[in-house]
Amino acid sequence: MGTHYFIALPIQPHLRQVLEQVSYSIDLDLFKHIVYPEDYHVTVAFLGDASEEQLSSLHDQLSDVVATFTPFELKPERIATFGREKQPRVLYASVEMNKWLDKLQQAVVYACSNSGFTLDQREYRPHITLAKKWRDSNKEIAPDWPTLICDSQEVSCLKLYRVAPMEKPRYQVVSTYAFNKL
């Protein structure tokens, strides 16, 4: 398996702190992988393996994309899951889809395609993963998730991350692409 990459929106410290506090009220030990708060992010596109040529092309493409965006608000909504309700595959904080996030995600997907990446075709569902990979098929969790009460955060950049499974934090920033501040 090669080095994997993804493009994401970083989470600001105030929101990271809220999500970390919420996660304390959930029995996360039932998951094999608990996401470090420093690794919280909203994935825009998962790339997988990448060649130097693809990354170079993507750098140029993403630089062009962010020049057309100004900062916008990102609003977490609630705690939710993917997979079975009582033995979820992923526990996450959902993020409200707005027109700017939708346009950004579409522009990034187009840039990735132009750079030779083949992306997952599933519907885009913005979220912040808190934990994943259910640990014990004999145990279940009560799906009475805590209420997520937090303000929105401003998004002012995209980041290209490299997955480093043996490091902490696990996701290493390769490049940052700042939006146009006008």
Looking at residue 7, what is its pLDDT? 98
Task: State pTM to two decimals.
Answer: 0.93
Q: What is the pLDDT of residue 18?
A: 94
Q: Are 28 and 35 in contact (CB under 8 A)?
A: no
Domains of the chain (ranges, CATH numbers):
4-178 (3.90.1140.10)
**106 to 116, 127, 150, 165: CA distances (angstroms):** 16, 16, 27, 28
Q: Please give the angle made by the CA atoms of 55, 182 and 40, to the nearest 5 degrees.
A: 50
Low-confidence residues of the chain, pLDDT below 50? Answer: none
Q: What is the pLDDT of residue 182?
A: 64
Q: How many helices (H) and strands (E) does the chain have?
A: 3, 10
pLDDT at 150: 86
Q: What is the pLDDT of residue 24?
A: 86
**pLDDT at residue 1, as a whole number:** 58
What's the confidence (pLDDT) of residue 73?
Answer: 95
User: Tokens 């480093």 map to which residue?
Assistant: 164
Q: Based on the number of CB atoms within 10 Å of its own CB, is 158 exposed (0-12), middle (13-18) or buried (19 or more)?
A: buried
Active-site residue numbers? 41, 127
Give the containing element (helix H, strand E) for 91.
Answer: strand 88-95
What is the DSSP secondary-structure string of 71-140? -EEE-EEEEEEEE-SSSEEEEEEEE---HHHHHHHHHHHHHHHHTT-----SPP--EEEEEEEE--TT--
